[in-house]
């Protein structure tokens, strides 16, 4: 079981260290190798995704990723910015399916910004297509407009596009995931306005015919954004394109209390995967030792389940996380009066102890 460990920037190094400790406490043998990525790699090698890092990631069964980015790199040309490393890894490893479970732990119901009765027991799975859509579509760029409202002025443009095979494969992933849950899929689109998403809706509907045991419904993205805060428990598996999924999954994150709790998995067709917390590098708290490592630790659990085929070890970690929450241990982001405040390392150590 080969794991490429890419901590990245900001709190990335702090939280990945705790996840590595937790993996080390299992009675399993891993080959772990660490490499620089993001701003840290740019500083050392002049590129956010150096050849050696990409090679290590490709050769591994799974990548454990922290986070990349810092405001100080915002002035770099786009191809050298830390965030390009994630896009590069997704593209080079063919990681087209992003799984983001949003689970509201009973112990953290009060940390959500929504009323407890709306989020208690929440367990939804957002499946976001990750390698297509407007984030990758060509052509894109800046030019002088020849038509539109202001011809002769500067404009910028991106291209939203999806091919049939891209939609089919993510739809299959969603229907198969739903079969292991409550057999309901909501496909989110903007078919009323966008050609790309009318096509998305048509293709998902066709694929759905192969899964008569799974109930499929469709929702426009604006309505989905509203329903997620109105009645989030009505959803089970949500499948959507890259840009809508990016936004909706962060919205869903906040239902659960803190983005510091949410793991994610990005998989390719051979189950090789990149596992990372849903949050970024949090430059505002980096170096303070107060970041919540649980999203990264839970991402390591997803890695054990999906790519390394160790479901029992995955479950042990998940149970250990529940146990530290039940003990009342909280990092600052999920703290509430009456709980015991712990720092990043203490939270990691508590999970190891619970294991």
Distance CA(341)–CA(355), nearest Å, equals 20
Name which of 121, 95, 105, 106 is nearest 306 in CA terms.
95
List the structure tokens of 1. 């079981």
Q: Any contact of residue 236 with ligand NAD (CB under 6 A)?
A: no
Nearer to ligand NAD, 263 or 280 (CB): 280
- What separation in angstroms does the CA of 125 have from each of 140, 217, 252? 31, 15, 9
Q: Any contact of residue 260 with ligand NAD (CB under 6 A)?
A: yes
Is 222 designated active site?
A: yes
Nearer to ligand NAD, 23 or 286 (CB): 286
Give the β-pairing of 123-129 and 141-144.
unpaired
Distance CA(351)–CA(22), nearest Å, equals 7
Q: Any contact of residue 70 with ligand NAD (CB under 6 A)?
A: yes
Q: Any contact of residue 49 with ligand NAD (CB under 6 A)?
A: no
Nearer to ligand NAD, 35 or 295 (CB): 295
User: DSSP string of 202-249?
Assistant: HHHHHHHTT-TTSEEEEEEHHHHHHHHHH-GGG-SEEEE-HHHHHHHH
Nearer to ligand NAD, 196 or 281 (CB): 281
Q: Any contact of residue 283 with ligand NAD (CB under 6 A)?
A: yes
Nearer to ligand NAD, 229 or 332 (CB): 332
Is 9 designated active site?
A: no
Q: Which residues pair with 265 in a beta bridge?
A: 99, 275
Is 189 designated active site?
A: no
List the structure tokens of 55. 């090679």
| Residue of 7, 50, 69, 273 interacting with ligand NAD (CB under 6 A) | 69
Give the β-pairing of 31-34 and 2-8.
parallel
Q: Any contact of residue 18 with ligand NAD (CB under 6 A)?
A: no
Minimal distance in Å, beta carbon 280 to ligand NAD?
Answer: 2
Q: Which residues pair with 184 in a beta bridge?
A: 215
Distance CA(146)–CA(172), nearest Å, equals 41
Q: Any contact of residue 113 with ligand NAD (CB under 6 A)?
A: no
Q: Any contact of residue 83 with ligand NAD (CB under 6 A)?
A: yes
Q: Any contact of residue 94 with ligand NAD (CB under 6 A)?
A: no
Name which of 92, 66, 124 is nearest 240 in CA terms.
124
Using CB under 6 A, which of the segments 267-275, 276-284, 314-322, 345-353 binds ligand NAD?
276-284
Distance CA(184)–CA(196), nearest Å, equals 23
Minimal distance in Å, beta carbon 57 to ligand NAD?
Answer: 14
Catalytic residues: 135, 190, 222, 246, 250
By the criterion CB under 6 A, which residues form the site for ligand NAD?
11, 15, 67-70, 83, 86, 259-260, 276, 279-285, 291-292, 295, 333
């Amino acid at each position: 079981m080969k794991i490429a460990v890419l901590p990245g920037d900001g709190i990335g190094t702090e939280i990945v260290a705790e996840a590595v400790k937790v993996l080390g406490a299992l009675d399993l043998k891993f080959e772990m190798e660490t490499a620089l990525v993001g701003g840290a790699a740019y500083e050392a090698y002049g590129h956010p995704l150096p050849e050696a890092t990409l090679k290590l990631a490709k050769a591994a069964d799974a990548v454990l990723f922290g986070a990349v980015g810092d405001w100080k790199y915002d002035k770099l040309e786009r191809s050298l910015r830390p965030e390009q490393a994630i896009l590069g890894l997704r593209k080079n490893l063919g990681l087209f399916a992003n799984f983001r479970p949003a689970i509201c732990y009973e112990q953290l119901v009060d940390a959500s910004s929504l009323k407890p009765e709306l989020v208690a027991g929440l367990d939804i799975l957002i499946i976001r297509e990750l390698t297509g859509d407007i984030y990758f579509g060509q052509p894109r760029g800046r030019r002088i407009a020849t038509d539109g409202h202001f011809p002769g002025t500067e404009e910028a443009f991106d291209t939203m596009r999806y091919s049939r095979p891209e939609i089919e494969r993510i739809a299959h992933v969603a229907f198969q995931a739903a079969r292991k849950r409550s057999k309901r899929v909501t496909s989110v689109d903007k078919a009323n306005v966008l050609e790309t998403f009318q096509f998305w809706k048509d293709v998902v509907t066709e694929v759905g015919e192969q899964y008569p045991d799974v109930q499929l419904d469709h929702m426009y993205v604006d309505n989905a954004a509203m329903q997620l805060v109105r009645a989030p428990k009505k959803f089970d598996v949500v499948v959507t394109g890259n840009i809508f999924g990016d936004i909706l999954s962060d919205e869903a994150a906040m239902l659960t209390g803190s983005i510091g709790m949410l793991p994610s998995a990005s998989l390719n067709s051979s189950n090789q995967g990149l596992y990372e917390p849903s949050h970024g590098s949090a430059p505002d708290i980096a170096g303070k030792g107060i970041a919540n490592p649980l999203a990264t630790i839970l991402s390591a659990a997803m890695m054990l389940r999906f790519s390394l085929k160790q479901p029992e070890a995955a479950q042990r970690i998940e149970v250990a996380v529940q146990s530290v929450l039940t003990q009342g241990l909280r990092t600052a982001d999920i703290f509430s009066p009456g709980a015991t405040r712990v720092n990043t390392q203490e939270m990691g150590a508590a999970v190891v102890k619970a294991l």
